[in-house]
Structures are given as C-alpha cells and as structure tokens.
Amino acid sequence: MRHLMYFVLVMVVLSACVGTGPNAQVTTSTIEPSSTPLPSQTPVLASPILADFPLAVGTIWDYSAEITYQDPNDYMKLLAWTGTVTDRVIDERVGSGGSIVFTVQEDLEPEPPEQVWRRSGTFEYTLSGDGVFKGSMKIYQVPLQSVQSWQAFEGTGYETLVQRVGEVVTPYGGLDDCYTFTLDTNPDTTMDTFCMGIGFVKHSYRHHGTPQNEEFELVSFTLGQP
C-alpha cells in the first residue's frame, strides 16, 4: 500500500510539469474558495415564546373534560358528556413570513355524539411576531403582565383580558406563575388558565345562545423534544 501511495504522488507531481528535460517548468495553481457557502452548523434560535408555551413535537396535554349540551329531542333538557381530551403536537413547519406552524392532534375519548360541537381532529397553532394564534384568534402574547389585554381578532373590538392569578391547583398538581385569559363575545365567553412552562391547564366555555358548556382540567403533561 505504501508503494502504491508513493507511485500516485509521483504521478501527480509529473502531471504538473510543462515540457521535459532540465529546463522544464513546474506550474502551480491557486484553488479559489467555492462561491457556494457551506451549510450552517449553528442551530436556529427558538422564539422565547416557546419557553413559556412549550410547543414542540411530542408535547402532550391530557385533560379531564365535561361538556354539557342541549338534548336534540328535548330543548328543555341538557345532556352531559364526560371523558378525556388529549392534545398532542404532531408536526412543526415554517410558515409564511417566517412564522412557525404547529399541528396539534386533538382526541376526545370516548368520541362524543354528533350534537357536541367539539370533535376529534387537528388544528394549528401559529407562532408569529409577539404571539401565538389558533386560526385567526390570538391566544397568547409576550410579555405577559399582571393586567393587560390584546385584540383577539384583527379588525374587531373583541379583546382578551389577562390577569395574573399566581398559583392554581389542577389534578396534575399545584402550578405557579399562572394567568387567566378571558374573552367575551356576543355568542360566548371563554376563560382559559395558562401557566408558564406548561401552557393551558384549565378551559371554561359558555355559549350564550344554545346551551353548550365546557370544563377542562389538566391531568398530565409530557414535554416533547424541541
């Protein structure tokens, strides 16, 4: 093997010679650096929002849930569905304008009847600018303050009101640094409790027309890998 490498080296040197004999000249060449940049090995820094709201593929929130709704056969009667709601982040991609889109699979177990408005399926959280959106609704904004508000839907007068509540207790355990987000609209009222580093730990919904009430509480939480 050593003799073969020596032979190859000699052939490379001879190929650089111009002419033969004692006056032969050896030319040298300069290798220019490639104009194509090498792939960056530096990871893209995640938004600081993700430290507060850990949207990473594999993150799971499990909630105990009760949904009451109008009996389709008796408008004076309410029916109740109880079960679990599981939200799991299953995909992450870069969206328009540098936004980050997270796809969440939501499963209700057992599957509620068709009359229940909330059903199993997927939805998306979009991280853009200073906040997180669910569809066209802004559900989170940084930095959070003890008392503040933000416009829930662009071009409307609806505002989400924020109030710091400190510690809250859930079946998952006692949690610190928590806030309530309250949104009142003409048809409904939503109050969600958000705890830093976990996400949404409680959900309460009231429809002002046809009765529909929802109550969720966090029972387990699994952090995915960013």
Sketch the domain layout of the chain as residue ranges: 49-70+80-222
Please tell me the predicted confidence (pLDDT) of residue 25: 40
Please tell me the predicted confidence (pLDDT) of residue 27: 38
Q: Write out the DSSP string of 114-170.
A: TTSS--SEEEEEEEETTEEEETTEEEEESS--SEEEEESBTTSS-EEEEEEEEEEEE
Are the C-beta atoms of residues 170 and 153 closer than 8 Å to each other? Answer: no
Mean pLDDT of the chain: 84
Structure confidence by residue, pLDDT tens digits, 200-216: 999 999 999 899 999 99
Q: Which of 171, 70, 56 is nearest to 113 (CA)?
A: 70
Q: What is the pTM of this model?
A: 0.78
Band (pLDDT 50/70/90 cuts) for residue 46 is: low
pLDDT greater than 70 at residue 126: yes
- Exposed e or buried b per residue across 75-109, where buried means at least 16 C-beta atoms within 10 angstroms of its C-beta: eeeebebebebbbbbeebeeeeeeebbbebebbbe
For the domain made up of 49-70+80-222, give the CATH fold: YmcC-like fold (2.40.360)
